[in-house]
Amino acid sequence: MEALFPLGVGHYLAGGLIIGLGVSLLFLTTGLIGGMSTVFTSTWSFVSRLPFFSQPRFVDSRAWRLVYAAGLVLGAAAWFLLAGHDDGYRVSIPWWQLAVGGFVAGFGARMSNGCTSGHGICGMGSLQLPSMLAVLTFLATAMVTARLVLMFGGR
């Protein structure tokens, strides 16, 4: 067990169940499907006049998606305050990895119309084959890439 889970299992399992409860609460109370990557496109509809961003599926959902994103920030802040995890943790990944990786991930997630939450949780939670294939695909490329990054001097 310790070889597979050096940091323990409890917080991983509890975290996953709570994430599932959040997505479920959204669905049962509002009927909405709560993937996270769309907010990065729908928010552009506030400022861009490009036809792509003006599609109803983005304009009509941009408000609740921002509220949902604000909820994510609040929830993580609550964990930070409640659990007393003021352990001085700082993200140690170099800025260029966050910038390049974030850009590529943002582009790819929108092209694929889903990410770890849209395809990974919502898509697999509704047993959709395309989402399952998307998850297998991004897990494979991510595992290869993460290894290559080390070879090229990244963290």
Partner 1 sequence: MGWLMVLASGALFGFGLALATMIRPEVVLSFLRFQDFGLLLVLGGAVVVTFLAYRFGPRLLARPLFGASFGKHPSELNRNTIVGAAIFGVGWGISGVCPGPAIAGLGAGQWELLIAVAAMLAGAWVHGRLAGGK
Site residues for partner 1, 50-79, by CB under 8 A, read 50-53, 64, 67-79
Integer angstrom CA distances of residue 22 from 33, 34, 40, 45, 64: 11, 9, 20, 26, 14
Cα 36 from Cα 9, distance rounded (Å): 25
Query: Cβ 108 to partner 1, closest distance in Å?
Result: 3
Among the listed residues 46, 56, 138, 151, the single contact to partner 1 using CB under 8 A = 138
Query: Cβ 59 to partner 1, closest distance in Å?
Result: 13
Stretch 85-124: interaction string toward partner 1, x if CB under 8 A = x---xxxxx-x-xxxxxxxxxxxxxxxxxxxxxxxxxxxx
DSSP 46: G
Among the listed residues 46, 84, 127, 153, the single contact to partner 1 using CB under 8 A = 127
Residues 26-55 that bind partner 1 (CB under 8 A): 26-37, 39-41, 43-44, 48, 50-53
Contact 42, 62 (CB under 8 A): yes
Query: Cβ 152 to partner 1, closest distance in Å?
Result: 10
Q: Position of tokens 């709570």?
A: 18
Q: How far is CA 6 from the centre of its chain?
A: 24
Among the listed residues 62, 150, 151, 153, the single contact to partner 1 using CB under 8 A = 150
H helix or E strand, kind and range, residue 17: helix 10-30
